A and B are shown apart, each in its own frame.
Chain A
Amino acid sequence: MVLGVALGVAVVVAVDLANASAGRAFDLSVDAVAGRATHQVVAGPQGLDEAVYAALRRDGEVQLAAPVLEGSAVSPQLGGRTLRLLGIDPFAEPPFRSYLGAEDGLPLDQLVDFLTRPGAVLLSVDLASQYGLEAGAPLTLQVGGYERQAFVAGLLQPADGLSRRALEDILLADIATVQELTGRLGRIDRIDLILPQNGAAEVERIAALLPPGARIDAVAARSGAVREMTVAFRTNLLALSLLALMVGMFLIYNTMTFAVVQRRELFGTLRCLGVTRREIFALVLGEALVVGLLGSASGMLLGVLMGRSAVRLVAQTINDLYFAVSVHSVAVPVISLVKGGLLGVLATVTAAGLPAWEAASVPPRSALSRSLLEAKARRATTRVALGGLLLLALGALILAIPTRSLAVSFGGICAVVLGFALLTPLATRWVMRGAAPPLGRLAGPLGRLAPRGVANSLSRTAIAVAALMVAMAVVIGIQLMISSFRHTVVAWLSYALQADVYIAASEMTGSSPMAPVDPAVLDVVARRSDVAVIDLIRAVNVDSPYGPVYLEAGNSADYGDHLLYLAVDGSPQEAWAAVRDGEAVIVSEPLAHRIDLPRHGGTIQLYTDRGPRTFPVSAIYHDYATPNGAVIMGLDTYRRFWDDAAFTAVALELEAGTDPGAVVQSLRETLPPTQRLVVQPNRALREEALRIFDRTFAITAALQLLATAVAFIGVLSALLSLLLEKRRELGILRSVGLTARQLWRLVMLETGLMGMVAGLLSMPAGWVLALILIYTINLRSFGWTLQFRLEAAPFLQALAIAVAAGLLAGIYPAYRMGRIEVIEALRYER
């Protein structure tokens, strides 16, 4: 019983910890970068001219301003991980970030190096010691595909734990150094400002001084928008962990009922001796409280341990889908523990409510007999099933409410799942009634005894079956959702990746840096006779009133003809012509969903280098790569509104009959060696995308496994308590001639049947769950419409797992019963 609560609580705590850690890591990285800035001056993908900073300082408009230029770098001397290259002006920094301002800061000679020598970077003492680096050590950096030489100018001593974690993944350098390393001479990404609290007038004054395309934003609003994006993802995880707790609640209910039924005579006697109903109720609830406290305490411990692997999975998914976070350690926020613990205790006490009431209603002396309880349970099955149908209807109604609120949607799911659970007792009875005759023919009297045993102990068996059913339904629902998702993505990839070969400076995944490709590449590919079409793609993140948006600009003649459209003005060709030749854009479904874009005739505003511009939307397309939303526009349009002639990828269509593998091979040999380029055939990119997809769902699979484990323990504990109750009964069976082997078969048949019923019932429930997940939750969370794909495998798998869980759960009880001597069992008095 304690174990069940503990597992349930552990899952909730682990997921909460992982979410909190990822959130904390995000805050830290925002802090590390924004520091104490209140506002930032920002511009498009190419950033600002550094003259803007000089002008602001010169005009005396702002006292506290610091320029920042960011990049990302990978160094073999630093374990090959992606580090943030943060370029700053050390003299403007102190009010913003504290790394340099500490009294025992850098020694003078290191500071001089830092400011004057090219390639000088600073890193934290921890990072340096992790890789055995000292001041003066040379570093080879990969920046935007180019190899650059740098060196460790000095080591930063973080002032406190927070800065230590913030500095874990940062290389600090003078702004001029970063300009050289990234090849962005004369540019800065932004200017951090500290303005007085009611600085509306200052904001306006500064805004007036900025060139077109540059804006001033409040820091809180910017980071909030980014943070918002992961809320849906994290809510989904939390909901999944709550499901495990729900399965745990069935378990607690079952065990508490057992504890009550087992002692009904004691309660009868106690009532006889003058113990009031209320006192008995309190007694049982008190026991539940103790169990809840014990279970929750161990669950919290277990949760912290499990959180360590969960945090890795969550961080990986957020990295893949949203933005780079680095979480290396699990901070244990007290609030997560309190939440989990409280939930566990509450769930236990709630689940014990009904058994406690049952105990309190035992009349004095005349003890509530088992068969009375069973008769009551049998009569109640119809009422309970009606309640289940009502809950299903309620769930459908809740899900039909046109809202974006995930809490409401999960409320609906909860009602549906509970509804199915309430149908379990009646369905179990029916299935057992139906199973008895054929099983009797197959397995003789045992075949009749087993289903009857299950049906006659419905008050206990149905709950174990319900718990297992819920777990299996979740497995089916999520598997169907994931496989539908995967199939949708596979179909979508064939549209999204139309060219045969792609050349880029880095792998083209959601959040990875989008470094430009060396233009010299074009000369090489243009000379090739096996290349039919060369398309350029510029992928950048641009700002919009709705937060950062992934923008892809291309010059393909027919790219848009084959996209998978949700809504399109006219034909796909017409829509694409409007993009290629006009100023129209195509918006991804998640973004359209997020900003409530009408299906036709909508517009979208983006912050361009010429100021905010509104673009007509000619189509909405399905996209599964960028949950925060993507916009596709013509390359000409992009270059008209942004001062950016660079391109991120070159897409090649080959002449018919050319082998892409061979082209890739020869391109790798002939492309300019100055920049490290990734040349991938279509197939490799597709595989890469699917690999990331599978990784994204790793945590979901882990949670599913846990829900199954909880359900398994539920069945095991239900069976153990059931067999304890039936000890004497089995003794009698043995005395009238049931052999040990028959006893074993009887127990296994009963538990196998329970597993089978759970597996069978989980099929419709899982199917409904998948429909809800696909058509409601995914759409509401991420704005993704998936193509539902019904597959037999998840259903068969769930049935197999359920039967296996039932049989496995039966082994130990059967073993124990087989060893009990008949006389001992006969002597056993309840």
Chain B
Amino acid sequence: MQTLRQLFPFFIRLDRSLDIIEYGVSMSKLRKLYGNFKDHFQFIRPNFEITYTFDSIVEFSNQVFVLELRDNPHKIRLKGQFLLINDQDNEIWFCGSPWLMSMENILEYNLVITDFALHDSAVDTFLMMNQNNLTLEDSTKMISDLSHKNKSLKKINQRLDSIIYAITHDFRAPLLASIGLLQLPEPLMYSQVPDVLQTLKKLDRTIVHLNELSKNEKVELKVTALDLSALIQEIYTNYQIIYGVNVPLELDIDSTSPFNSDAFRIRTILNNLISNALKYSKAKPDSYVAIRIQISEQECHLSVSDNGEGIDQKNLEDIFKLFFRASSKSQGSGIGLYVIREMIHFLKGTISVTSEKGVGTTFSLTIPNQKT
């Protein structure tokens, strides 16, 4: 008897009238039992043809019993079996334990693990449920990781396609031009040199942009304090020399805080924006480039405006796409603005453009001011 009590702390001992003689110490935490079994429990399984009599229960004693505590808000169910105590034949024992359907059940029922016998697999079910929840959490995380990687792979694939296209078309043109030049008779050769040189310079610019693009993917964010005024002056002077122009710069910086960001990316963004502004401004005699900057503790607003050729409205949506060119005569490689957008995204900033054909273009950027 003592052994049964230890092995089944939720036991219920019944006499031939199904009056409760005794019950386990753990069962007492679910309910104080007195009187008749039928007043406290109902049969869930078996249910058909079973009656609340000693003989009926004995008849079904080769089956698993599922009992439910009556009048309990949690509808606590117990799983177990009935044992006829053979040496006396006048009492039966229910040996089982509460069935846990969720992790919280054990706490809702006011139980602790020590209320269950060590061998009881109810506790293992409880632990298994916790592990299953964690596995589900893992699966959700894995799906999200895979979806993220898939998106990134698709993007890389599209870019590779564009690069292959560029290599077969853009890279081949200057190559063929150079081959053609070398095959010309000497007097004709010299007259063609400036055009071929221009094509080769364009090719070099394309390679520089592709390198910037590749570095944007690989180089980690490195935040330092930046002197935007000095950086812009330096870049501006360089490109005036490269393009052989003298376009006035209006630089206006309103700063209430130092600006911290990634030097490599900010330099590349400014390089591309300033070189574009100068490249398309040089045709006009009253050309100018205006750069306005507002720096706060949170972010930096930067705009680069020119009164150059402007961009056709129908092309504005596409100018940030890789290898987009408004026309075959376009001077650009079709990569510079794409590089700018990718770098701005990397810095978690935004970029927009407004333009009017023949009037000019303004690029507006917002870049978070990083903490050093």
Q: Do the two chains bind?
A: no
Chain A residues in the interface with B (C-beta under 8 A): none
